[in-house]
Chains A and B, each alone.
Chain A
Amino acid sequence: MTFRIDLSAKFAFVVLLWVCAFTLPWEYQAALCLLVLAGRFAVPSFRPQSERSSAAFSNFLLYSMAVAFFVILLNSILIRGGSTYGTILGFMLHQEGLFFGLKTASRLLLLTYSILVFFISTPLKELIRFLQQKGLSPSFTLILLLTLHFLDHLPARIHQIFLAQQARGAPVDAGIASRSKALLSLLSPLVLSSIVESIDRGTALELRGFLNRPNDANRVAASTAGWNLLTMLLLLISTIILLAAIYRWLLG
């Protein structure tokens, strides 16, 4: 039997990681980053839900590692202060810059990994259903679902318009001023066609009575069972860490 963590607990886990990102020293944050990465492989609830999200995670992982490396390297070269730790390609590495780079990189990685692991392991439709259970109005739900529809179709439409404008002789490869003008010739048909589509869809919604229904009649009843033990435990730990950090800060 596989133990599944529900969405409230996942939210609470992200909150806990955010609190840690702003309160704990960088060494702990780096360790938590590794834990989150291990969790993505070891905990079934944190595994990617599709090939696409798995690929996005792998790409972002490589990208973030490269960014973290350059943040640490560039800061330790450019921010001078404290003792030096040797040289790379003739550039001296300084202590102050190195520690600032480590702090920044570990915080950035922890914040981004926590959000990323949440989203790759949660299908957007499941998230929308959860938010609807928590009181998100049907209009907002509809907008989010329509956005997913547009996101699927827009790249193809942009490509189609781009090719059409190129065939008509739009200066897509000329100087920056001409390319900026070409931008307008790309966006105009895109926005115009979307407004026409919006009017059609809006009319269809009006005809189906979607926009005139009573406020709460069809809303899914808010779930109160979402506050399970794990969620409360994670939120309690977050509060304790936060209070400890505030106490330490007050003591100077």
Chain B
Amino acid sequence: MSKSIRQRIAEELTGPALPFVAFCIALNLTVGQVTAALKIPLYLDSIGTILVAVLVGPWSAVFCGSAANLLAAAFGNPTMMFFIPVVAVIGTFTGIIAKLGWFRKWYLVCLGGILQGILAALVSAPISAYLFGGVMMAGTDFLVLYFRSVGNTLMDSVLYQGLASDPADKLVSYFIVFLLVKNLPQRLLARLHGAGNIRTPGRTP
């Protein structure tokens, strides 16, 4: 009999994974502080979700992303709540490719990041277009307005805006997570579920 989502999450969330997921939810919400301090023009707000997907599992990553968006809504950014389907896709896709071993090779990580960006743009475009008319209270709104003013439909404009910004953001997020997990001591990684996702089979630490 197939397991419920709740059972699958409970299976992944054991021992140190519980506080680690909590940290990653908080990281999603505070990483903006780091990018702002370094004046980097990227969101990187799914770094925590990607970390959980790689080191814990896809179901926990979906939970991590959803909880982060709910808390972002609670802390004054209410539009984030409607983008839970996008973080669910990010968590699931990253979890699947991590299980397939894509986080062992840098070029697969880059490919995964670009694919993830395209996928995120495709999923977020209808939400942004139909719920908010393309207005997300962010700087990228000007890009949507520009695409509209040159004659594109609302849906196309939002999609082009997403395709212009998301792949770069996700590519950088993926690569940062790849470098982070590569540099983590193996004895620490061994305590988390997804350690096998980054270790080449047969190679001992």
- A residues lining the B interface (CB < 8 Å): 22, 56-57, 59-60, 63-64, 67, 71, 74-75, 78-79, 100, 103-105, 107-108, 111-116, 119, 124, 137, 139-140, 142-144, 146-147, 149-151, 154-155, 158, 162, 172, 176, 179-180, 182-184, 186-188, 190-192, 194-199, 201-203, 205-206, 211
Contact = CB atoms under 8 A, between A and B. Distances in A.
Given A79-B149, A187-B180, A195-B184, A108 B67 contact: no
A146 B18 contact: yes
Contacts of B132: 104, 107-108, 111
Interface of B: 6, 10, 13-23, 25-27, 29-30, 33-35, 37-40, 47, 51, 63, 67, 71, 73-76, 78-79, 81-82, 131-135, 137, 141-142, 145-146, 148-149, 172, 176, 179-180, 183-185, 188, 191-192
A113 B185 CA distance: 45
6 contacts: A71-B135, A158-B34, A192-B184, A195-B20, A201-B19, A205-B15
Nearest to B183: A188
B37 A172 contact: yes
A108 B133 contact: yes
Contacts of B192: 195
Contacts of B10: 137, 139
Given A150-B22, A183-B34, A184-B179, A143 B67 contact: yes
Query: Interface residues of B: mostly helix, strand, loop or mixed?
Result: helix
A199 B74 CA distance: 28
A211 B184 contact: no
A67 B17 contact: no
B168 to A, nearest CB: 12
Nearest to A180: B40
Given A56-B75, A158-B37, A195-B191, 19 more contacts: A59-B76, A71-B141, A107-B133, A111-B78, A111-B82, A114-B78, A116-B78, A119-B73, A144-B22, A146-B22, A147-B26, A151-B71, A158-B30, A182-B38, A184-B179, A187-B47, A197-B19, A201-B16, A203-B16
A198 B27 contact: no
Contacts of B71: 147, 151
A71, A108, A147, A149 — most chain B CB neighbours (10 Å): A147
Contacts of A202: 15-20, 191
Contact of B145 (A67, A78, A142, A144): A78
Contacts of A188: 180, 183
B16 A179 contact: no
Contacts of B180: 184, 187-188, 191
Contact of A143 (B22, B135, B191): B22
Contact of A206 (B15, B23, B29): B15
A198 B76 contact: no
Contacts of B20: 194-195, 198, 202
Given A196-B188, A199-B16, A155 B30 contact: yes
A179 B176 contact: no
A57 B75 CA distance: 9
